[in-house]
Amino acid sequence: MIHPQLQFRDYEPLNPGEPIFLTFEGKAIAYQGTSTVYPIFINEAAYYEKGIAMCLTQKKTTQI
């Protein structure tokens, strides 16, 4: 399941090593990526049946 620390934090940075999931035994599972990501649609009911817990996005800067 989604780690409680991540719930309601859409668009906020998730850094490598920070908790992303929690097992039913209460063990935290850390995000193992190599860069900071920005989770969106965390625990959205519309995605339950598809087995999608969230979408991880990356920040990009564009000059205009």
CA–CA dist 17, 36 (Å, integer): 10
Going from the C-alpha of 64 to that of each of 58, 59, 61, the distances in angstroms are 19, 16, 10
CA–CA dist 7, 10 (Å, integer): 8
- In this prediction, residue 26 has a pLDDT band, given cuts at 50, 70 and 90, of very high
Q: What's the mean per-residue pLDDT of the chain?
A: 94
CA–CA dist 18, 42 (Å, integer): 15
If one counts the domains in the chain, the total is 1
CA–CA dist 24, 47 (Å, integer): 20
23 lies in which domain range? 1-64
- In this prediction, residue 51 has a pLDDT band, given cuts at 50, 70 and 90, of confident
pLDDT, mean of residues 8-27: 97
Top pLDDT among 52 and 20 is at: 20
